[in-house]
A and B are shown apart, each in its own frame.
Chain A
Amino acid sequence: MKFINYLKSIQDVRVYPMVSLIIFTAIFLVVLMYAFKASKNYIDQAKQIPLNDEK
């Protein structure tokens, strides 16, 4: 719990947020592509799920 500073400094710590932003953007673009490639049939099915009971 003393949070001993294991490193005096991390070299170029700014690289880490940049890398994660790049990873996120990549995943985001992949998600975007696949979302648009989804078949209309599948989408229509999924949309209706809450309305699929009698009430």
Chain B
Amino acid sequence: MQLERFSYDNKIVKWFATATIVWGVVGFLAGLLIALQLAFPALNFDWAPTTFGRMRPVHTNAVIFAFVGNGIFMGVYYSLQRLCKARLYSDLLGKIHFWGWQLIIVFGALSLWMGYTTGKEYAELEWPLDIAITLIWVVFGVNMFGTILKRREGHLYVAIWFYIATWVTVAMLHIVNSMELPIEFMKSYSWYAGVQDALVQWWYGHNAVAFFLTTPYLGLMYYFLPKAANRPVYSYRLSIIHFWALIFIYIWAGPHHLLYTALPDWAQSLGVVFSVMLIAPSWGGMINGLLTLRGAWDRVREDAVLKFMVVAITAYGMATFEGPMLSLKNVNAISHFSDWTIAHVHVGALGWNGFLTFAVLYWLIPRMWRTELYSKSLANAHFWLGTLGIVFYAVPMYWAGFTQALNWKAFTPEGQLQYSFLDTVNMIAPMYMLRSLGGLLYLTGAILMVVNIWKTVKKGEFQAEEEAEAPALVKIEAHKGEHWHRFIERKPLQMLFWSLVMVAIGGAIELIPTFLVKENIPTISAVKPYSPLELHGRDIYISEGCYTCHSQMVRPFRDEVVRYGEYSKAGEFVYDHPFQWGSKRTGPDLARVGGKYPNSWHFNHMYAPTSTSPKSIMPRYTWLLTTGIDIMRTPKMIKAMQTLGVPYESGYHNRANGDLDIQAGAIAADLMKEKEIKQIMEFEGVKELRYTKMVALIAYLQRIGTDIKTVSADAKPVH
């Protein structure tokens, strides 16, 4: 058995590590800004790119795809080579992967600032970027599989199964959720509509959590924790069992984002049941991680890397218990749309993803630079700041979540709603400030890390190629009585295939019936397609990220029906490409806002929210007045909607602008009756209202929820 000599590529790891750190700081800063904006709305700066609605997706994309994404690649490229005892398959593919991913991030951020967005959470980037993501993901896959196929270590260690499952599932999720019909360079409409879009979106969204934020990091845990603790994982058998259980069960959990919405009941129930079952395999991972340290807890005291890992794994356990609890319908009735969800997300994100990334960085960098970490005390300070940051983030958000949710539901003894929505917003302002402090602490810790890493790198000597040697792989023949899992482990492509089968089952069963079975989405004959002007307005609603603060889904609860109106039915959303149900009520639900307020109210509210709603935290949208819609786009929009199945008359695209003109003219004339509006127009230098974005958006808002609205005296705004 002759020893083969080769070397591991550390350069690619260095690049991804650098990107991880840089985007981490960027993402945390963006998060801090939007957190502060909720407490101090002046920080929206009256400028479109920095409004909360556009900055929020910048933050989520930066921390998920830029920070965690690069963290995944850093960890995978380091560990995979060593677990396979093989050099990375292709340096060139590595470069393409790296630069491709960073370019996607940069163009992604720019596009989000400019208002180009699909309006679907965690999948906001428009179709050209979606294509780029697919290509780069394939490059990553080829490099990863190429390395696995060249391996000298026959057995695929558990971390590699997680990497394989991650790769194949993210590919499946991204492709299915990104089915969109382009109408222009940076604009497309989702193939799916309404309930179906919601289901696909949250099948994607929850599994982005599962297969981008969880499985790759479990893989990293299974490599870096044993390395840091210098002992093997607690139970390899447990890792086999929890791996398969996790990847199968996780996929079904998506509907827990849609409880008490217009999603069919059977799909909601499936989401609940599978979410609860998910506790077991998730905790399998946590247990395996924590018990790896049994008998070595004294070392945790000395070692910052182990400290970060212990808190990371504990946060993982907490979040994966809380998640299933939040999936119970009775708990979800309180938590949905509230800040409790935000607290939950950040325990996982700051604790599990953030801290494990920091641990890996503190472990990897000194090794690759052949030196010791510059300062243990700085690392420990980072640990404590970060941990405090998580606490100061989560606790105020729990408090805020309960406060707002319970007060949304509060009735006076006379049977009226006790609080206006705005009351509940103002009640939680102190919590928003405290949460910002938490974020600041977390960011400060990260900056200490930047300093520490920088100093470490400066005093070390980077080892671009790390020499290694190992015997060539002996072809293992299958033999009778061999443990079946060894058979799969020997064949990475089998692993790939069976992982794909496991993850595809849940999606197929939940998604397909809603497409094939008419009863799942009962049609309502009164529901009609949007007018051309309303379509433009809807595009603006999406572009400005209104859905990040406003939901459009009235749940069948007494307090919601009294506050907003008739609860939302599945059939109302059949022409909504994409759906805009929202996930959070920082502002009130808008599903029945149509017809509740005069046009002038909407004008004043968007131009200066505090003029109609004192102490509102909504940003000003002054540019809606000074920018216009592109009416040349109207025919393209109509034709696209027709292709997607919306029943506009044949040839309507030729007449659409005529209708748009009439409707816009009517709204403009109505607005011009108000003296203050005329004054504002003069101040902003606006001569003609008709084709402004403001008028289009008002048209859309006045349409929402009116198709089935019963005419009754209760249509008074309860605000």
Same complex for A and B? Answer: yes
| Residues of chain A whose beta carbon lies under 8 Å from any beta carbon of chain B | 1-3, 5-10, 13-14, 16-17, 20, 23-24, 27-28, 31-32, 34-39, 42-43, 45-53, 55
Instruction: Name which residue of chain A comes closest to B245, CB basis.
Output: A28
* Residues of A with C-beta under 8 A to B99: none
A42 touches B645 (CB 8 A): no
Stretch at the interface among B133-141, B227-235, B623-631: B227-235
Is B172 close to A, CB under 8 A?
A: no
Is B515 close to A, CB under 8 A?
A: yes
A36 touches B237 (CB 8 A): yes
- Other A-B pairs, 20, CB within 8 Å; known A34-B483, A37-B483, A50-B226: A3-B515, A9-B519, A16-B513, A20-B509, A27-B244, A27-B248, A28-B248, A32-B241, A35-B237, A35-B240, A45-B155, A46-B158, A47-B232, A47-B236, A48-B232, A50-B79, A50-B83, A50-B157, A50-B227, A53-B468
* A16 in contact with B509 given A49-B153, A50-B82, A50-B223 (CB within 8 Å): yes
* Residues of B with C-beta under 8 A to A23: 505
* Residues of A with C-beta under 8 A to B483: 34, 37-39, 42
Sampled A-B contacts (21; CB under 8 Å): A1-B181, A1-B191, A1-B643, A5-B516, A5-B517, A6-B516, A16-B509, A20-B505, A20-B506, A24-B249, A24-B505, A28-B245, A28-B248, A34-B485, A38-B483, A45-B155, A46-B155, A48-B232, A50-B82, A50-B227, A51-B230
Is B45 close to A, CB under 8 A?
A: no
Instruction: Give the CA-CA distance A27 to B249 in the complex, in Å.
Output: 12
Q: Mark B73-87, 1 if CB is under 8 A from A, else 0.
A: 000000100110100
* Residues of B with C-beta under 8 A to A55: 227, 367
A43 touches B237 (CB 8 A): yes
B240 touches A31 (CB 8 A): yes
A51 touches B486 (CB 8 A): no
CB A39 to nearest CB in B, in angstroms, measures 7
Q: Which of B85, B181, B484 has the most CB of A within 10 A?
A: B484
Question: Which 5 pairs of residues, A with B, have the shortest CB-CB distance?
Answer: A47-B232, A2-B645, A49-B157, A35-B237, A5-B518
B367 touches A3 (CB 8 A): no
Instruction: Name which residue of chain A comes closest to B241, CB basis.
Output: A35
Instruction: Give the CA-CA distance A32 to B509 in the complex, in Å.
Output: 24
CB B232 to nearest CB in A, in angstroms, measures 4
* Residues of A with C-beta under 8 A to B505: 20, 23-24
CB B472 to nearest CB in A, in angstroms, measures 16
CB A19 to nearest CB in B, in angstroms, measures 9
* A-contacting residues, B53-104, CB 8 Å: 79, 82-83, 85
Instruction: Give the CA-CA distance A38 to B82 in the complex, in Å.
Output: 25
Is B266 close to A, CB under 8 A?
A: yes
Instruction: Give the CA-CA distance A40 to B657 in the complex, in Å.
Output: 74
A49 touches B518 (CB 8 A): no
B157 touches A31 (CB 8 A): no
Q: Mark B189-216, 1 if CB is under 8 A from A, else 0.
A: 0010000100000000000000000000
Instruction: Give the CA-CA distance A31 to B245 in the complex, in Å.
Output: 9
B645 touches A13 (CB 8 A): no
Is B644 close to A, CB under 8 A?
A: yes
Is B270 close to A, CB under 8 A?
A: yes
* Residues of A with C-beta under 8 A to B233: 47
Number of cross-chain contacts by CB at 8 Å:
103
Instruction: Name which residue of chain A comes closest to B231, CB basis.
Output: A51
Interface size on B, residues (CB 8 A): 48
| Overall SS of chain B's interface | helix
Instruction: Give the CA-CA distance A50 to B81 in the complex, in Å.
Output: 11
Q: Which of A2, A17, A31 has the most CB of B within 10 A?
A: A17
Instruction: Name which residue of chain A comes closest to B233, CB basis.
Output: A47
CB B192 to nearest CB in A, in angstroms, measures 8
Instruction: Give the CA-CA distance A35 to B242 in the complex, in Å.
Output: 11
* A10 in contact with B157 given A20-B505, A47-B233, A49-B83 (CB within 8 Å): no
Instruction: Give the CA-CA distance A55 to B153 in the complex, in Å.
Output: 17
Instruction: Give the CA-CA distance A44 to B236 in the complex, in Å.
Output: 8
Instruction: Name which residue of chain B comes closest to A3, CB basis.
Output: B515
Instruction: Give the CA-CA distance A39 to B144 in the complex, in Å.
Output: 29
* Residues of B with C-beta under 8 A to A39: 483
B240 touches A51 (CB 8 A): no
CB B174 to nearest CB in A, in angstroms, measures 19
B241 touches A10 (CB 8 A): no
A35 touches B485 (CB 8 A): yes
From A31, A45, A49, A50, contact of B244 by CB (8 A): A31
Instruction: Name which residue of chain B comes closest to A54, CB basis.
Output: B468
A14 touches B517 (CB 8 A): no
Instruction: Give the CA-CA distance A20 to B505 in the complex, in Å.
Output: 8
Instruction: Give the CA-CA distance A31 to B232 in the complex, in Å.
Output: 22
B155 touches A13 (CB 8 A): no
Q: Mark B258-283, 1 if CB is under 8 A from A, else 0.
A: 00000000100010000000000000
B226 touches A51 (CB 8 A): yes
* Residues of A with C-beta under 8 A to B79: 50
Instruction: Name which residue of chain A comes closest to B82, CB basis.
Output: A53
A43 touches B236 (CB 8 A): yes
* A10 in contact with B513 given A35-B241, A43-B236, A51-B232 (CB within 8 Å): yes
Instruction: Name which residue of chain B comes closest to A8, CB basis.
Output: B518
Instruction: Give the CA-CA distance A34 to B488 in the complex, in Å.
Output: 13
* Residues of B with C-beta under 8 A to A36: 237
* Residues of A with C-beta under 8 A to B83: 49-50
* Residues of A with C-beta under 8 A to B191: 1
CB B4 to nearest CB in A, in angstroms, measures 14
Instruction: Give the CA-CA distance A39 to B518 in the complex, in Å.
Output: 52
CB B607 to nearest CB in A, in angstroms, measures 39
* Residues of A with C-beta under 8 A to B248: 24, 27-28
CB A3 to nearest CB in B, in angstroms, measures 5
Instruction: Give the CA-CA distance A23 to B508 in the complex, in Å.
Output: 15
A13 touches B153 (CB 8 A): no
* Residues of B with C-beta under 8 A to A6: 516
Instruction: Give the CA-CA distance A51 to B486 in the complex, in Å.
Output: 19
Instruction: Give the CA-CA distance A39 to B240 in the complex, in Å.
Output: 14
Instruction: Name which residue of chain A comes closest to B157, CB basis.
Output: A49
Instruction: Give the CA-CA distance A51 to B232 in the complex, in Å.
Output: 7
Instruction: Give the CA-CA distance A9 to B509 in the complex, in Å.
Output: 15
Instruction: Name which residue of chain A comes closest to B510, CB basis.
Output: A17
* Residues of B with C-beta under 8 A to A47: 232-233, 236
CB B11 to nearest CB in A, in angstroms, measures 17
